Amino acid sequence: MPPETRPVVTDDTEFAVRGAGAPVLVVHGTPGGIDVAEIMARFLPSADFRVVTLSRPGYLGTRVRPGHDSLDDEADRYAEVLDALGIDRVAVLAWSGGAPAAYRFAVRHPDRVHSLVVAAGLTGPWTPPEVSAPERLVGGTLLGAALARAAARLVPGVVVRLAVSGVSSLRGRRLRDHVRGILRDPERRSFLLDLARTGNTAGPHRAGWEADVRNLGAVTDLDLGAVRAPTLLLHGDADVDVAPSNSVRAADEVPGAELLVLPGGTHFALWDHPDASAVQDRVRSHLRLSRP
């Protein structure tokens, strides 16, 4: 994380805060950690936003609480973090496997959420995809994590191509053009390569991964109709990691929700789409929304 990020330590929850503007809680996906949350939040300038990042339960420095490890328990934990920071109300930015707990936070603590942005968010049951032996090595072992970090430094083009093809239906010329565009754009390139260094389920990510497999596999009804915060949904139509139908369901059930579908968008569309800069402007505007 950048030097301006100030860690805040509790006995079992890892979180941090930077900036002095409108408060935004950033909820990472599966797997992840506070490092992924900060990568997600780079487009939120500290002059305009007070960015609260955290590690979800079981990831990095946040412990799973035995007997209190449901999505609702996780949502209540977000409220604890805000209490520790003296923040009453926030905007929420959630991605992928972090979306179910973010939705539950908005339902269980409606007075604390003034706006909600969900990118490629799950709204139904999820099971880990079948992967090859090399993918299990890279994504599920500490050796693989070290190899991924080295590859991001030594062969960035290969890493970006594998990352994009693994979470999208882009193939052939569409894939080549997308990868070429990322590699030519410093911000999109930095996002993908830094994310590739963190996407592992071993070691300090293992307990979080296991909790997510258990909790996200059991998602049925998130009570989306009870969300009261103005909600912006984003999804790439080429996403194969979380099907766009998840966001369509949210758009149908969350009162007044707006769904922005990004043509040719991958699972990383908010950050790697050719129109990412314009989309991020839209997200920043939504995160600033507030109601009396």
* pTM for this prediction: 0.95
- Statement to judge: residues 142 and 125 lie in one domain: no
- Statement to judge: residues 220 and 123 lie in one domain: yes
Give the distance, in angstroms, between the CA of residue 123 and the centroid of all CA atoms in the same chain: 14
- The number of distinct structural domains making up the chain is 2
Residues of the domain holding 49: 6-129+205-287
Rounded distance between C-alpha atoms, residue 221 and residue 94, angstroms: 18
- What's the first-to-final CA gap in the chain, in angstroms? 33
Q: Among 147, 166, 196, which residue terminates a domain?
A: 196
Per-residue b/e over 21-50, b at no fewer than 16 CB within 10 Å? ebbbbbbbbbbbbbbbbbbbbebbebeebb
- Statement to judge: residues 170 and 220 lie in one domain: no
Q: Among 196, 221, 251, which residue terminates a domain?
A: 196
- Statement to judge: residues 183 and 280 lie in one domain: no
**Would you give per-residue pLDDT tens digits along the chain (292 residues)?**
444 555 565 779 999 999 999 999 999 999 999 999 999 999 999 999 999 999 999 999 999 999 999 999 999 999 999 999 999 999 999 999 999 999 999 999 999 999 999 999 999 999 988 878 777 777 888 888 898 899 999 999 999 999 999 999 999 999 999 999 999 999 999 999 999 999 889 999 999 999 999 999 999 999 999 999 999 999 999 999 999 999 999 999 999 999 999 999 999 999 999 999 999 999 999 999 864 4
- Statement to judge: residues 211 and 68 lie in one domain: yes
124 domain residue, yes or no: yes
292 domain residue, yes or no: no
- Statement to judge: residues 120 and 141 lie in one domain: no
Tokens of 146: 């070290």
